[in-house]
Chain A
Amino acid sequence: MAHDQHNYLNHQKGIWSWLTTLDHKRIGIMYFVAIMSFFFLGGVFALLVRAELFTPGKTLFSADVYNRMMTYHGAIMVFMVIVPGIPAIFGNFVLPIMIGAKDVAFPRLNLMSWYMLMIGAAITGSTLFMQNVDTGWTFYTPYSSIKTGLGVIPMVLGVFIIGFSSILTGLNFIVTTHKLRAPGMTMNRIPLMVWALYSTAILQVLATPVLAITLLLLIAEKTLGVGIFDPQLGGDPVLFQHFFWFYSHPAVYIMILPAMGVISELVATFSRKTIFGYTAIAYSSLAIAGVSFLVWGHHMFVSGQSEFAGILFSFITMLVGVPTAIKLFNWIATMYKGSIRMDSPMLFALGFMFLFTIGGLTGVYLASTGMDVHFHDTYFVVAHFHYVMVGGTLMALMGALIYWFPKVTGKLYNDTIGRISWVFIFSGFNVTFFPQFILGNMGMPRRYYDYLPTFTELNQMSTFGSWLIGTGFLVGLFGVILALLKGKEAGMNPFGGKTLEWTIPSPPPHENFEKTPVLTGGPYEYR
C-alpha cells in the first residue's frame, strides 16, 4: 500500500517542506500547480476573446478591453504556459529518473527557477490591475515604446525574469544529462524524451538571453528615451523584430520539442514496440534546434527587409521541415506491426500527430515567400500556430499528464474520463481553428476587434469550438481531482513502459532508486 511506503510525498510534511524542497519531483509538482493556474487564466482570456468575436461589432467589450485580453491571452499562454509547460513539469519529474539519477545536477538552482517563474508571473500579472497593456504578446515597436501606456514596462520586466527561469532550467538539464547518467547509459541509450528535453535546453540557454536583452532595450527606450527602435529618436523599428524573432522562433521549438519527446514515449509504450529509427528521432531534435536559429526572418517577409533576405530565410525554413517530417514518419513506422493499445494517453498522442500534421503542412505555405505575402498576419497564421502550439503541445501535455499520473501520485487516472476529455478537446480544436484557415483565405487580418459581416458564420463556428475545448479541459481537471480522491492503486508499471521510471515504485522513493541501475541496452527493448 502506498501510504505505508516511504516515498517522496510522505518523506517530509507540511507546506514549508514543499516551498523549500530540493527534490526534483516535488518541484515538478509545484510547477504543475503554478502552470495549470496560469493555463486556467490564459484559457479564460481565450474564451472571452472568442466570445467578443461571436458577432461583428461590439459584442461584450470595448476595443481597448478586447486588445488587452488578446495581449494577456497570448503573453500568458506563450511565456507562462507553453514555453515552461512540459520541460518544467514533466522534465523535472521524469528526466532524472529516466537517466537513473537521484536528482538534477543543481537542486537549489532548480528551486530558484521555480521562484523566478513565480516572481516574473507576479510582476506580469500585476499589470492587470495597473495600466493597460495592449501591444499583443510580441511587443512590437514603436507601438510598445511610444504609443501605449507605461504598463508595458512591468509586463516586459516580468517576461524578462521568466526568461531567466527558463535559462536556469535549461542549464540544469544540460548538466544533468551530461553528468548524472547511470552506468551503461550512453547518449545513444537515453530515452527520446530526454533527447528532446536536452535539445530544448540548448535552445533555452542560447536563445533566451537575446529576448532578455531585447526587452531591456525596450525598457531603456521607454524610460530613458534612448533611440533604439523609435525612428523619431533615430532608431530602427524593424531591428526589434530581428531581435524578437531571433529568440521567439527558436522558442517555437522550445514549445514543440518536449511535446515530440512525450509522443515518442507514448507511441513506443502503447504500441509495445521498440521505437523506429531511434537515432533519426534523437538527432532530428538536435537538427531542429540548430536550424531554428537561422530562420527568424520568415516572420518578416513583408516587414520591409530586402527581397534577398526573405528568399534566404525561406530556403532555410524549408530545411526545418525535413527533420520534422522524419519524426512523423518514424512514429507511424513505430506503430507498424506493433501491439497497439488505445488508452487515453495514446489517443492524445494520435491527436497530436493529426493536429501537428495539419500545423506542419500549413507551415510550409507560410515558409514559401510568394504564398506568405497573402497569408501573413491573417487568421491563416492564427490557425497554423494554434494547430502547432496548442494542438501539438497541449495534446502532448494532456497525454503526458495521464501517462505519468500513476507514477507521480501512485493512483490511476480514470481512462474513460481521459477519453471523454480527449473527444471534447480534439473535436473542439478542429471546430475552433479549422474555420480560421478559411477566414485567412478570405483575408481576415488577425488581432481584429471588429470584422466585416462576411466573416460572421466562420467566427461563430470558431467561438462555438472554443466552448468545446473549454469543456474538454474542465473534464480533464475533474479527472485529476477524481483520481486523487478515489483513484485505484497504480502499481509500478501500469502501461508496460520500458524506461527506468517504470522500474521503481509509484510514487517513487525520495531519492528515486534503492540502488543505482546499470544499463545494458537501449530504452525501448520490446522483444
Chain B
Amino acid sequence: MNWFSFIPATSFMPVPATKESGDVDNLYIFLLVSGLISFIILIGGMVIFIFKYRRKTEDQKSAYITHNTLAEFLWSFIPFVIMMVIFAWGWDVFHDLRKVGEKGDVEVHVTARQWAWTFKYANGIEINSPTGDKLEPNLPDSTLLKPETVVVPLGKTIRFVLTSDDVLHSFYVPAFRNKMDAVPGRRTTFTFTPIEKGDFTVFCTEYCGTKHSNMMATIRVVDSEQFAAWQAAEIGKKAGAADAGPAQRGEALFKGSLGCSGCHSIDGSRIVGPSFKGLYGNKRDFADGSSVVADDAYIKQSILVPTAKVVAGFPPAMSSFQGRIKEEEIKDIIEFIKTLK
C-alpha cells in the first residue's frame, strides 16, 4: 500500500508488480516530498532575497553578518537527521529486495550474453530471448526485437540466478523496481514475488555493446494453473524437438540457446559476423591472407577457437564456445549449416 497515496507522485512509475515494489514506492514518495520541501526552502529563500535585497542605489550598504552559530548548527544537524532516516529506510528496502541466501519457490538460471537472455528452469524448460529476425512491429525504423516471454506464477517467490557468458549485463525490470548485474564468472541473484498479472519488460541496463538497447525479454505473470499448463506445453514442445532431425536440432540451437543468429545471418546479410549462407564447401578468406574450404573441421574449430581463423573484414569479436557446447550439438549445427545453400 502506498503511503501518502493521495499524491500522484508515482504516476510515471510503472505499475508496482511485486510485493517489494510497493515499499520502494513509499520510500520514493518520502524522498520526493522531503526533497520538494527542501527545494522550496532553499530556492524560495533565494528568490525572496533577490527581490527584497535588490540594490536600489549605487551606494547602498549591506549588513555585516559573519556567522550565526545556532542557525549553522540547525542547518547542519537537521539535514543530517533526515539523511540518516533516508539511509536507514533505504537499507530496509534494499535488504528486502536482495533476499540474500533465500531460495525461491521457482528457480530459474538466467544467462546473459551479447545480446540475448537465456532462461533455464529446473525441469529443463529453456526460453531464449530473440536473436535476429523478430522485429518489433509497427515501427519501420526500429531495431528493437520482439521480446520472448518467460512465464512465472503469481504470488510465489521467484529466484533468478544470473550469470554472463561474455561482458557485464544488468537485469532490470522497472515494474519490479529491481535490478542486478550479470557478471561473467560470478553468480548473482534477482528475487521477487509477483502480485500483479501481466507482461513486464526486462531491459539490460549495463552497456554491453552494439545492440545493448535490443537486449530485452518479457516476464509474464500468470496464476498457478496457467503456469502448470504452460510448463506442460513447453515440455511437450521440447519432446517434439528431440525427435526432429539433426538439421532441425541444429537450427533450434542456432536461433535459440546458443544465440548464433545474434551475430550471423543465414540470408547473406552482414550483421556482426559473417553470414553462413553458402558457407559449407566454399572457400573462406582470412584476415591473415590464408584461406580454406569450409568443412566439418573448420566449423568445429571456429566454434571452439574462434580467433584461430578470422574471416577477412570482420573483427575477432567472438568468444569461445568451449565448455558450453556438446560434441553432438556441434554435429547438429554443421548439419544445419549444410542446408544453407
Residues of chain A at the chain B interface (Cβ within 8 Å): 55-59, 63-64, 67, 134-136, 140, 142-143, 146-149, 231-232, 236-238, 271-274, 276-280, 301-304, 307, 310-311, 314-315, 318-319, 321-322, 325-326, 328-329, 332-333, 335-342, 350, 353-354, 357-358, 361-362, 364-365, 367-374, 376-378, 438, 441-443, 445-453, 526-527
A317 to B50, CA, bound (A): 32
Q: Which residue of A lies closest to B101 (CB)?
A: A307
Interface residue B188 (Cβ < 8 Å from any Cβ of A): yes
Q: Given contacts A143-B208, A274-B65, is CB(A57)–CB(B114) below 8 Å?
A: no
In the assembled complex, how far is the CB of residue B247 from the closest CB belonging to chain A, in whole angstroms? 31
A51 to chain B, nearest CB (A): 14
- Chain B residues with CB below 8 A from A326, complex form: 72, 75-76
CA distance A146 to B114 in the complex (A): 13
Among A237, A339, A365, A447, contact of B55 (Cβ-Cβ < 8 Å)? A339
Task: Indicate whether A147 sits within 8 Å of B141 (C-beta atoms), given known contacts A307-B95, A370-B94, A374-B177.
Answer: no
- Identify the stretch in B85-93, B235-243, B250-258, B325-333 within 8 Å (CB) of chain A at 4 or more residues: B85-93
**B209 CB to closest chain A CB, in angstroms?**
6
| B31:A368 contact, CB within 8 angstroms | yes
User: Given known contacts A357-B43, A373-B177, what 16 new A-B pairs fall within 8 Å (CB)?
Assistant: A55-B141, A63-B210, A147-B167, A147-B317, A236-B185, A237-B185, A276-B66, A315-B87, A318-B83, A333-B68, A357-B38, A368-B90, A374-B178, A376-B179, A441-B12, A442-B13
Q: Is B79 an interface residue (CB 8 A)?
A: yes
Whether B193 sits at the interface, judged by CB under 8 Å, is no
Docked complex Cα distance between A91 and B237 (Å): 69
Q: Is the CB of B12 within 8 A of A339?
A: no
- Whether the pair A57, B184 counts as a contact (CB closer than 8 A) is no
Say how far B242's CB is from chain A's closest CB, in angstroms: 32
Q: Which residue in B43, B60, B94, B188 is a CB contact (below 8 Å) of A353?
A: B43
Find out whether the CB atom of B206 lies under 8 angstroms from the CB atom of A364.
no
Question: A322 and B79: CB pair below 8 A?
Answer: yes
B324 CB–A CB distance under 8 Å: no
Complex interface: chain B residues within 8 A of A358 (CB): 39
Chain A residues with CB below 8 A from B39, complex form: 357-358, 361
B281 adjacent to chain A (CB < 8 Å) = no
Residues of B within 8 A of A304 (CB): 180-181, 183, 186, 188
* B27 proximal to A (CB < 8 A): yes
Contacting residue for B94 out of A273, A303, A307, A322, CB 8 A: A307
- Please determine whether A364 and B100 come into contact, CB atoms closer than 8 angstroms: no
Residues of the B chain whose Cβ atoms lie less than 8 Å from the Cβ of A342: 50, 54
Interface pair A354/B211, CB less than 8 Å apart: no
CB pair B49–A336 under 8 Å, yes or no, is yes
B65–A378 CB distance below 8 A: no
B184 touches A232 (CB 8 A): yes
Q: Knowing A340-B55, A447-B207, say if A364 contacts B86 (CB, 8 Å).
A: yes
How many cross-chain pairs have Cβ atoms below 8 Å apart between A and B? Answer: 290
A369-B94 contact given A58-B143, A148-B209, A342-B50, CB 8 Å threshold = yes
A312 to chain B minimum Cβ distance, whole angstroms, is 10
A231 to B212, CA, bound (A): 21
27 pairs, A vs B, C-beta closer than 8 Å: A56-B144, A57-B141, A142-B167, A146-B167, A302-B170, A314-B91, A332-B42, A336-B53, A336-B63, A336-B65, A358-B39, A364-B86, A365-B28, A369-B91, A370-B23, A370-B89, A370-B96, A373-B178, A374-B179, A442-B12, A442-B14, A443-B174, A447-B207, A450-B142, A450-B143, A452-B201, A453-B138
Residue from A333, A339, A451 in contact with B213 in the complex, judged by beta carbons closer than 8 Å: A451
- Interfacial chain B residues near A340, Cβ < 8 Å: 49-50, 53-55
> Which residues in A have their C-beta under 8 angstroms from that of B297?
none
Which of B23, B31, B66, B213 meets A364, CB within 8 Å? B31
By a CB distance below 8 angstroms, the chain B residues around A447 are 207, 212-213
CB contacts (< 8 Å) of A314 on chain B: these are 87, 90-91, 94
Given contacts A304-B181, A314-B90, contact A140 B168 (CB under 8 A): yes
Cβ contacts B47-78/A at 8 Å (1 or 0 each): 00110011100001111111110011001100
Answer yes or no: B205 CB below 8 A from chain A CBs: yes
Within B162-180, the residues touching A (CB, 8 Å) are 166-168, 170, 172, 174-175, 177-180
Give Cα A231–Cα B165 distance, bound, in whole angstroms.
Answer: 10
Q: CB-CB < 8 A to B80: which residues of A?
A: 322
Nearest chain A residue, comparing its CB with the CB of B50: A340
A336 vs chain B, min Cβ distance (A): 6
Q: A58-B143, A337-B53 are in contact. Are A311 and B62 (CB under 8 A)?
A: no
A residues near B14, Cβ cutoff 8 Å: 442-443
Contact code string B33-51 (vs A, CB < 8 Å = 1, else 0): 0010011001101100110
Measured CA separation A377–B64 after assembly (Å): 46
| Chain A hits for B186, CB < 8 A | 231, 238, 304
A335 to B, closest residue via Cβ: B49
Q: Is B53 within 8 A of A339, CB to CB?
A: yes
Among residues of B, the one whose C-beta sits closest to the C-beta of A326 is B76
Q: Which of B125-169 contact A (CB under 8 A)?
A: 138-144, 166-168
Which residues of chain B have C-beta atoms less than 8 A from A135's C-beta? Answer: 207
Task: Give the residue among B31, B80, B83, B172 with the most A Cβ atoms within 10 A.
Answer: B83
Contacting residues, chain A, for B67 (C-beta < 8 A):
276-280
Q: State the CA gap A367–B140 with chains docked (Å).
A: 40
For A438, what are the chain B residues with a Cβ–Cβ distance below 8 Å?
Answer: 12
Q: Mark B1-37, 1 if CB is under 8 A from A, else 0.
A: 0000000000011100000000110011001000100
Let me know if A231 and B184 touch, CB within 8 A: yes
Give complex CA distance A338, B83 in Å: 31
Taken together as a complex, chains A and B put the C-alpha atoms of A298 and B241 apart, in Å, by 47
Q: Beyond A134-B209, A147-B114, is A338–B49 a contact (Cβ under 8 Å)?
A: yes
